[in-house]
Amino acid sequence: MASAVALKMSNFHPSHHAAGRADIRRPTHGRVRRDGQLEARLSLSTLLPKRRGGAQLRPLACTAGIIKVLQHVAPAPLREKYLGRLLDPNYDTNFNGAQYLTEVQGGSDVGANSVWARPEDTDSDVWYLTGEKWFCSNVTADLALVTARMGHEEGTRGLGLFLVPRHLENGEVNNFTIRRLKDKLGTRSMASAELDFRDALGYHVGSFKDALQHVINTSRIYNAIGSTANGRRALTIAWTYAQNRLAFGQPIIRFPLVQAQLARMRTDCAAMLAGSLRIAKVMDDIELGRASEADRAFFRMAVNLNKYRTAVLAHEVIMTAIEILGGNGAIESFSVLPRLLRDNIVFENWEGTHNVLLAQVQRDIRKYAIHEPFLAHIRQLFQAANFPELKLEGLAQVEIIAQELGRCWRWMS
């Protein structure tokens, strides 16, 4: 039987571990020990892709999700058992996490999950899970949150959330096996696989609603930070190249069209970073009990829109960087840009496709008129802006969007 440490270290690119080690050892990961630290923690994670660490964001996001579930909803004995290992600042010995929701018949439609769980006895937290999970990233994780059906109720209401350890108390490997590794387009330094569960032990820790609140929303912010970081790295490469590449006797950065491209990229990167950290701050306020109902409504809409928007903008920024490098942009051995593009395509998919995020926002607008507190929050931000032109232009744009959304809402409801 492979020990947990040997399994963690096997068959990965050394840079993957170097990035993980850097992030875990810095006083970043430890911040998730306390509520209200997400903004500070994620500010430092934007540096990860500089060290081939884009693919590390997935394990970090999942680990943070498990920590939140243990802190907020899991029974106390489980918290005591696992929290210390998850927060251990030593990368070589700490526990890291994964989350397995998607099945072959549906990822967006989680309510179609069919992996099922049976309890050990009537009042036990110990259950046994059987069935197949189709996309399992960070498949060497020590702990995974897994959704499984607990009874006959259909849809997401019938789903429970289980904490599944890789190793059992006696040191043996838990009853799930890797059927096949995914041959992925991007984030290839982190392993994703298909898994078969056959009476695998899992601790019941909550419901699908808990997964949404503590795991998926956290992951969506980490994902947005990952896209932001990919974009920022592409910008740095393009900017440096433009200063040094000569064409027609001068550095290409002197051409107004190149300047316009770089200015656009820089604006998009600033928007991605500011937006994502703002949303992390609101999540911190929610956790600390400092948020109003309106803040919560803003968060609900913003977390989905921002995950969508950062993925799209990062894609555009990376594509523009490739364009600025000319032919060299398309060469794998010349720069990291081709890999960033592939990684970013995966970022666009995990934690919700574009359509699915937008459909969720549309449902929330129709049901709860959530666009009103969302726009009120944005209005407040522009009202506090220091630059009069920005303030006027921003407020005018908000009014245009408010009128359009108001019309859509009346039409939908």
Ligand X SMILES: Cc1cc2nc3c(=O)[nH]c(=O)nc-3n(C[C@H](O)[C@H](O)[C@H](O)COP(=O)(O)OP(=O)(O)OC[C@H]3O[C@@H](n4cnc5c(N)ncnc54)[C@H](O)[C@@H]3O)c2cc1C
Binding site for ligand X (CB under 6 A): 98-102, 106-109, 135-137, 184, 192, 346, 349-350, 353, 355-356, 359
Q: Closest approach of Cβ 20 to ligand X, in Å?
A: 16
Core vs surface per residue 176-203: b (16+ CB within 10 A) or e = beeeeeeebebbbbbbbbbbbbeebbbb
| Residue among 7 and 291 whose Cβ is closer to ligand X | 7
For tokens 């429970």, what's the residue? 160
Q: Which of 172, 165, 174 is nearest to 199 (CA)?
A: 174
Core vs surface per residue 108-125: b (16+ CB within 10 A) or e = eebeebebbbeeeeeeeb
Residue 15, strand partner residues: none
| Residue among 190 and 265 whose Cβ is closer to ligand X | 190
Separation between Cα atoms, residue 383 and residue 387, nearest integer Å: 10
| Residue among 99 and 174 whose Cβ is closer to ligand X | 99
Q: Closest approach of Cβ 267 to ligand X, in Å?
A: 27
Q: Which of 361, 278, 348, 277 is nearest to 310 (CA)?
A: 348
Q: Closest approach of Cβ 55 to ligand X, in Å?
A: 10
Separation between Cα atoms, residue 330 and residue 158, nearest integer Å: 48
Amino acid 314 reads A
| Residue among 24 and 55 whose Cβ is closer to ligand X | 55
Q: Closest approach of Cβ 315 to ligand X, in Å?
A: 15
Q: Closest approach of Cβ 208 to ligand X, in Å?
A: 12
How many C-beta neighbours within 10 Å does residue 306 have?
25
Q: Closest approach of Cβ 397 to ligand X, in Å?
A: 27
Strands 126-137 and 246-247: unpaired
Torsion of CA 116, 121, 123, 128, to 10 degrees: -30
Strands 97-100 and 143-149: parallel
3-state secondary structure of 335: coil
50 token code pair:
């500089």
Separation between Cα atoms, residue 108 and residue 250, nearest integer Å: 50
Alpha helices in 73-191 (DSSP H): 76-87
Q: Closest approach of Cβ 307 to ligand X, in Å?
A: 12
Q: Indicate the residue whose CB is closest to ligand X.
A: 107
3-state secondary structure of 138: coil
| Residue among 181 and 401 whose Cβ is closer to ligand X | 181
Phi-psi region of 91 (alpha: psi -120 to 50; beta: other; left: phi over 0): alpha
| Residue among 329 and 352 whose Cβ is closer to ligand X | 352
Q: Are 365 and 371 in contact (CB under 8 A)?
A: yes
Q: Are 23 and 56 in contact (CB under 8 A)?
A: yes
Q: Closest approach of Cβ 62 to ligand X, in Å?
A: 7
Which residues does 306 contact at the CB level (< 8 Å), separation at least 6? 220, 221, 224, 275, 276, 279
Q: Closest approach of Cβ 182 to ligand X, in Å?
A: 6
Q: Closest approach of Cβ 295 to ligand X, in Å?
A: 27
